[in-house]
């Protein structure tokens, strides 16, 4: 049974070292999300530290019908080295950003809300060789992966991500 909106709360990784997490991430796959076009390509998220506030600056980018779309926001950890973050793209409206899986070398990350309704598989590169294995691990957590949307990366040497 998959995690539902009222389902059990997911577990996060033990800790996230923000200085290792910041940088550019490529979206490999995601669950449908109303703010993202299902046909978007070349989706990336870039995280950087905001020296003034100590928060994390977020820059999401994707192409829809050849046009670049950007969304800027900010995030903060709920505690030092916490894998539970709160992210906002609109003033005073925050959403869960929970790191539920993380590669040993921060080469991939799986981010969700607290119950798996929303989910993003991110990688430091536009192609993630072990995508299928990671999706299997996500499924093992009780999250339905049948509706995953795989992101095409056309601005790189490769144009598709393999399942």
Q: Tell me the per-residue pLDDT of 80-93, one tens digit each, with 9 for 90 and over.
A: 888 998 998 988 88
pTM of the model: 0.88
- The pLDDT value recorded for residue 7 is 55
CATH topology for 18-150 is Lipocalin (2.40.128)
Res 133 pLDDT > 50: yes
Q: Give φ, ψ of 132 to 5 degrees.
A: -60, -40
The secondary structure of residue 160, as a DSSP letter, is -
* Cα 109 → chain centroid: 7
Q: Where are the domains positioned within the chain?
A: 18-150
- CA dihedral 90→64→111→29, nearest 10 degrees, is 170
Q: Tell me the per-residue pLDDT of 4-43, one tens digit each, with 9 for 90 and over.
A: 444 568 999 999 999 999 999 999 999 998 888 889 999 9
Q: State how far the Cα of 111 lies from the Cα of 97, in Å rounded to an integer.
A: 6
- Cα–Cα distance list, 98 to 9, 86, 115, 148 (Å): 11, 8, 10, 18
- Cα–Cα distance list, 29 to 86, 90, 99, 102, 147 (Å): 21, 24, 15, 15, 10
For residue 121 the two structure tokens come to 């598989």
- The pLDDT value recorded for residue 78 is 86
**Does residue 81 come out as left (phi exceeding 0), alpha (psi in the -120 to 50 range) or beta?**
left
* Residue, of 33 and 147, whose pLDDT is higher: 147
Residues facing residue 102 across a β-bridge: 109
Mean pLDDT of the 70-80 span: 90
């Amino acid at each position: 049974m998959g995690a539902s909106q009222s389902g059990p709360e997911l577990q996060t990784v033990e800790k996230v070292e923000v200085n290792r997490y910041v940088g550019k991430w490529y979206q490999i796959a995601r669950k449908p999300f109303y703010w993202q076009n299902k046909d978007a390509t070349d989706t990336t998220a870039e995280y950087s530290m905001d020296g003034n506030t100590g928060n994390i600056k977020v820059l999401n980018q994707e192409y829809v019908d050849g046009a670049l779309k950007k969304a800027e926001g900010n995030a903060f950890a709920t505690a030092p080295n916490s894998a539970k973050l709160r992210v906002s793209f609109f003033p005073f409206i925050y959403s869960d950003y929970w790191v539920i899986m993380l590669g040993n070398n921060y080469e991939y990350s799986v981010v969700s809300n607290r119950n798996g309704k929303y989910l993003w598989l991110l990688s430091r590169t536009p192609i993630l060789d072990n995508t299928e294995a990671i999706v299997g691990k996500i499924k093992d957590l009780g999250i339905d992966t049948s509706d995953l949307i795989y992101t095409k990366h056309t601005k790189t040497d490769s144009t598709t991500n393999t399942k």
